[in-house]
Amino acid sequence: MLPRDFYNKDTVTVARNILGKRIVRKIKGSVMAGIITETEAYRHSDDPASHAFGKQTDRNKVMFGEVGHAYVYFTYGMHYCFNVVARHSNIKAGAVLIRAIEPEKGIKKIQKNRGITNTKNLTNGPAKLTQALGITKEHYGVDLTQDSNLYIEDGIKIKKIYDSPRVGIKKATDKLWNFKINIEKN
DNA sequence: GTGCAGATCCCCT
DNA sequence: GGGGATCTGCACG
């Protein structure tokens, strides 16, 4: 697993550094894993698009807690999104949204969870990958630096990172806090 | 290939 | 009571 201090840096820095790392998910003996290919940074008082922009609430409290834990939230009435709490210690809250992964292990299980068999659209979206890996609100607050049924470990080396505006938000669209890599050309 | 409507729950005001 | 860090299917052409 990645150590705790990997997440104890500026949220934007962690969002870049975590590209190419591997998410591992274990369910009853079967193992799924994938390489992180797209992320977004969400910070605190300087980021109106962040769930932690305002005060601390029951929903966002994990973003104010210890780094390296999972922040899972439910949205649009049917989807879960998966974040990792990460911030420099002089900032109160922050998290990195995992938007896409490249499937490596357990593709059959992933296809079953998604209910489709094609390989392109399996995990290329924030709600798709949570469905694919079976991540739900039961993972809210889970420590990702411990060996459990969900954690993050070192992965592959990265060459080029592409910076873009974040997706699906209406505030702070000037910030280029969406980061992705191209595995094919890596 | 593009674009839009519908699904449908939880949290915050 | 309103809107959201989304995905899918269907319509159109």
- Give residue limits of the domains in chain A: 4-179
Instruction: Provide, in whole angstroms, the distance separating residue A121's CA from nucleotide C11's C1'.
Output: 22
Residue A70 CA to residue A149 CA, distance in Å, equals: 12
Given a cut of 70, is residue A93 above it in pLDDT?
yes
Given a cut of 80, is residue A185 above it in pLDDT?
no
Helix (H, G, I), strand (E, B), or coil: what is residue A130?
helix
Shortest CA distance to A92 belongs to which of A60, A59, A65?
A65
pLDDT at A117: 86
Shortest CA distance to A123 belongs to which of A22, A18, A12?
A22
Domain A4-179 fold: 3-methyladenine DNA Glycosylase; Chain A (3.10.300)
CA A35 to chain centre: 11
Tokens linked to A168: 């699906």
Given a cut of 80, is residue A184 above it in pLDDT?
no
Encode pLDDT of A19-50 as tens digits.
999 999 999 889 999 999 999 999 999 999 99
Instruction: Provide, in whole angstroms, the distance separating residue A133's CA from nucleotide C12's C1'.
Output: 35
- In terms of Cβ atoms closer than 10 Å to its own Cβ (0-12, 13-18, 19+), residue A177 is buried
A146 pLDDT band, cuts 50/70/90, is very high
Give residue A31's region: left, alpha or beta (phi > 0; psi -120 to 50): beta
Encode pLDDT of A99-137 as tens digits.
999 999 999 999 999 999 888 899 999 999 999 999 999
Find and list the nucleotides of strand B having atoms within 7 Å of a protein beta carbon.
7-13
Residue A139 CA to residue A9 CA, distance in Å, equals: 23
* DSSP-assigned letter for residue A165: P
Which nucleotide shows the minimum CA-to-C1' distance to residue A77? B9
Residue A72 CA to residue A83 CA, distance in Å, equals: 6
pLDDT at A5: 97
| Whether A49 CB is under 7 Å from strand C | yes
